[in-house]
Amino acid sequence: MPVLERTMKTMRLADDVVTFSTFRKTMAECFSRNTKTRRPLLITQNGVASKVVIDVADFDNIRETLELMDDLWTAEAELDRGEFTTQEEEIRESHAERERIKRKLGL
């Protein structure tokens, strides 16, 4: 699995926060700036943070990172519960499986 790129830049509150009505009026400009700067765009409604616009590649990287973190947390929990096999056990099982396949194929 490839190493995830860190492409998204840190948001600048002075530059990257717009009201919903401003966003609606200047959507093309907002998207262009978001693409150019690689910084998230925070959209507010009634003075409250409502939505964040990010590039699709950044969204994919975030999602992949979360999936990897979930895999790590799952593995750590399994190790803590003693739910693992040693390398030697895996090798023995692999050899046994190979022998079963050979017998099945008549080799």
| pTM for this model (two decimals) | 0.61
Domains and CATH numbers, the chain: 17-105 (3.40.1620.10)
Sheet containing 17-19: order of strands: 17-19, 41-45, 48-53
Q: Would you say 58 and 11 are in contact if contact means Cβ atoms under 8 Å apart? A: no
Output the DSSP codes for 23-75: HHHTHHHHHHHHHHH---EEEEETTEEEEEE--HHHHHHHHHHHHHHHHHHHH
Beta strands 41-45 and 48-53 are: antiparallel
- Summarised one tens digit per residue, pLDDT across range 11-67 is 888 889 999 999 999 999 999 999 999 999 999 999 999 999 999 988 999 999 999
